[in-house]
């Protein structure tokens, strides 16, 4: 069976689109593997307390694993759940812009998180725009701070889910999160200039020590809800775009994943078993949205800025440009020319003073 299992396709799909496969074996082998998975699947599994079970109208089941992103225990919870229920689909809280996290090893990710250089800043600004790009860099700084404190790279539970899904016959792997550029742009657009400044200041000077015990506390729903309430009071618009809207998007992709699947023996539709792996902060929102009518399109667009916002943004860019000019003057001609040659700086100059037609 093990020899035949190696020749069977384990389909990896990104947003339901297969990206790699191995040739299928004959029908007899497929049926054997289907039966093998059925034997391994536990009907009433004893799962960690971080797992929430949700039912779909067609009889499909979702096992939603709430995790803390820097937790070894969360990795164990994910592995235990997938091995027990032998799912048809595994969905993780990642988008295509962060899929590389699945392929990297811990040491590489630790190095990436700690090494925030000029090239990364340029890439973030080019991909997301000036304000959203800078905010992404600040959040990377927060991630690097936690990484340095714990000596552990983020996303271990997603890599564990990817690994375990590959061991389950017929199991598909889906990315369930909203594209991160959309989230950043909507978050920045929702904040006032003062809120942006306060948020940036807080992220820049983050230095509080973090322990593994603190991370594990994030899996406790009551403590997490208290923290979220404090965040809502501080930045309600940020909570709406980064948490509540992504709750809706994740619910949508999870419900899509719980569609019935075809039996390889007779092609009949049977209820699906799905494992979802998301941060614990998203679990309450997914539960609340599970049976609601959802409009995903309205949370995928970014409203154009108002005239006042455009003027304020131009003023901010002007101030930044003045600071840049002063830095060039103080640094000397060589370094000044180097700074002015950067694509991000040239783009900023072009926006402020476009060439005449």
For the segment 33-55, what is each residue's pLDDT rounded down to a tens digit? Answer: 899 999 999 988 999 999 999 99
- Label residue 22 by pLDDT band (50, 70, 90): very low
Which residues, 6+ apart, have CB-to-CB distance to 185 below 8 Å?
128, 129, 132, 302
The per-residue pLDDT for 76 is 95
- Distance CA(61)–CA(275), nearest Å, equals 9
The per-residue pLDDT for 14 is 41
What is the DSSP code (8-state) at residue 10?
-
Tokens standing for 220?
A: 């406790």
Cβ proximity of 184 and 135 under 8 Å: yes
Q: What percent of the chain has pLDDT over 70?
A: 54
For residue 165, how many other CB atoms are within 10 A of its CB?
24
315/40: higher pLDDT:
40
For the stretch 82-123, pLDDT in tens is 999 999 999 999 999 888 888 776 677 666 656 666 566 666
pLDDT over 70 at 206, yes or no: no
Structure-derived torsion over alpha carbons of residues 9, 171, 162, 12, reported in degrees to the nearest 10: 50
The per-residue pLDDT for 109 is 61
Q: Which of the given ranges, 29-43, 205-219, 317-331, has the highest pLDDT on average? A: 29-43
What is the mean pLDDT of the segment spanning 1-22?
A: 39
**C-alpha gyration radius of the chain:** 23
* Mean pLDDT value across the chain: 75
Which residues, 6+ apart, have CB-to-CB distance to 195 below 8 Å?
235, 237, 238
Which residues, 6+ apart, have CB-to-CB distance to 84 below 8 Å?
41, 42, 45, 46, 47
The per-residue pLDDT for 72 is 86
Helix (H) or strand (E) holding 283: helix 283-289
- Distance CA(55)–CA(258), nearest Å, equals 9
- Please give the backbone phi and psi of residue 271, each rounded to the nearest 5 degrees, phi first: -55, 145
For residue 78, how many other CB atoms are within 10 A of its CB?
29
Nearest to 289 by CA among 252, 241, 343, 258: 252
- Label residue 15 by pLDDT band (50, 70, 90): very low
Cβ proximity of 183 and 249 under 8 Å: no
Ordered by start, the domain boundaries in the chain are: 29-303, 311-352
The per-residue pLDDT for 136 is 62
Q: Which of the given ranges, 13-22, 35-44, 51-60, has the highest pLDDT on average? A: 51-60
Helix (H) or strand (E) holding 172: strand 172-175
Cβ proximity of 148 and 114 under 8 Å: yes
- Distance CA(351)–CA(357), nearest Å, equals 14
The per-residue pLDDT for 226 is 46
pTM: 0.71
pLDDT over 90 at 157, yes or no: yes
Nearest 5 degrees, angle CA 170-CA 172-CA 178? 170
- Count Cβ neighbours within 10 Å for each residue of 220-236 and write b for 16 or more, e otherwise: ebeebeeeeeeeeeebe
Q: Taking the CA atoms of 236, 237, 239 and 245 in sequence, report the sign of the dihedral they define.
A: positive
């Amino acid at each position: 069976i093990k020899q035949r299992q190696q020749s069977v396709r384990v389909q990896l799909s990104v947003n339901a689109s297969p990206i790699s496969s191995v040739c299928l074996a004959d029908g007899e082998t497929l049926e054997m593997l289907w039966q093998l998975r059925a034997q391994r699947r536990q009907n009433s599994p004893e799962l960690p307390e971080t797992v929430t079970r949700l039912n779909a109208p067609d009889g499909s089941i979702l096992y939603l694993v709430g995790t803390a992103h820097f937790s070894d225990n969360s990795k164990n919870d994910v592995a235990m759940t997938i091995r027990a229920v032998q799912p048809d689909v595994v969905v993780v809280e990642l988008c295509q812009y962060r899929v590389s996290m699945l392929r990297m090893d811990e040491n590489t990710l630790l190095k990436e998180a700690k090494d925030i250089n000029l090239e990364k800043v340029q890439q973030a600004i080019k991909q997301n725009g000036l304000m959203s790009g800078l905010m992404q860099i600040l959040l990377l700084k927060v991630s690097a701070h936690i990484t340095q404190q714990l000596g552990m790279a983020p996303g271990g539970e997603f890599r564990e889910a990817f690994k375990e899904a590959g061991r389950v016959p017929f199991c598909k792997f889906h990315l369930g999160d909203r594209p991160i550029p959309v989230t950043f742009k909507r978050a920045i657009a929702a904040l006032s200039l003062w809120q942006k400044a306060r948020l940036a200041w807080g992220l820049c000077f983050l230095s509080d020590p973090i322990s593994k015990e603190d991370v594990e506390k994030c899996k406790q729903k009551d403590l997490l809800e208290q923290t979220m309430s404090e965040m809502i009071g501080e930045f309600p618009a940020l909570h709406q775009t980064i948490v509540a809207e992504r709750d809706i998007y994740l619910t949508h992709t999870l419900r899509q994943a719980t569609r019935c699947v075809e039996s390889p023996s007779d092609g009949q539709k049977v209820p699906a078993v799905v494992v979802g792996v998301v941060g614990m902060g998203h679990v309450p929102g997914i539960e609340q949205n599970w049976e609601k009518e959802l409009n995903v399109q309205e949370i995928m667009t970014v409203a154009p800025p108002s005239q006042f916002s455009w003027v304020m943004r131009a003023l901010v860019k002007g101030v930044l440009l003045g600071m840049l000019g002063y830095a060039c003057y103080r640094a000397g001609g060589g370094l000044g020319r180097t700074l002015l040659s950067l694509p991000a700086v040239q783009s900023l100059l072009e926006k402020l003073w476009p060439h005449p037609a």
